[in-house]
């Protein structure tokens, strides 16, 4: 561990950094999966979904940056290479041959559900070690991704 302004024992910081890196892998993977949907979507709702997916990708990118910066602030390293993400993600692999708009929406909604469960688990880790600031950061991520998951699920209804 590197020096950190965070007033937690090194062992606590190591555990929180580990869970942040796990969520970083998930969030980076989600970003790439959203971009795949953005690039390949087809159908009657093309433009609306193309634009929605771009906004979702931007949010995932910003959340990944926040997670990575918190891991480094805690004195750890942010692990985000393609190889690390592929080995560490908890998200299901995205079927590359998908083109239908609502199928993309369903696939992404399922991945948001997986990410949200993992973020809540990571928040519990941060809370258990008394890292309220990381817990707050993860609460913000949960709130942000819940709203986007709602957008996706609402698109499937009707």
Distance CA(135)–CA(52), nearest Å, equals 28
Q: Give the 3-state secondary structure of residue 97.
A: coil
Distance CA 13, CA 129 (A): 8
The full set of domain ranges for the chain reads 10-156
Spell 117-128 as b/e; 16+ CB within 10 A means b. ebbeebbebbee
Fold topology of 10-156: Ferritin (1.20.1260)
Instruction: Point out the residues of the chain with pLDDT beneath 50.
Output: none
pLDDT (0 to 100) of residue 121:
98
The two tokens of residue 54 are 């771009």
pLDDT of residue 1: 86
Tell me, what's the pLDDT at 158? Answer: 66
């Amino acid at each position: 561990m590197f020096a950190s302004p965070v007033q937690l024992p090194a062992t606590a910081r190591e555990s929180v950094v580990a869970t942040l890196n796990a969520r970083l892998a998930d969030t980076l993977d989600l970003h790439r999966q959203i971009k795949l949907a953005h690039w390949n979507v087809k159908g009657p709702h093309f433009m609306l979904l193309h634009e929605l997916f771009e906004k979702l990708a931007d949010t995932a990118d910003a959340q990944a940056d926040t997670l990575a910066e918190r891991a480094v602030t805690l004195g750890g390293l942010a692990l985000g290479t393609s190889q690390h993400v592929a080995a560490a993600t908890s998200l299901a692999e995205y079927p590359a041959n998908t083109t239908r708009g609502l199928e993309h929406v369903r696939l992404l909604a399922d991945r948001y559900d997986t990410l949200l469960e993992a973020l809540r688990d990571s928040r519990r880790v941060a809370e258990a070690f008394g890292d309220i600031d990381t817990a707050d950061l993860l609460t913000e991520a949960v709130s942000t991704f819940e709203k986007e998951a709602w957008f996706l699920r609402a698109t499937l209804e009707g």
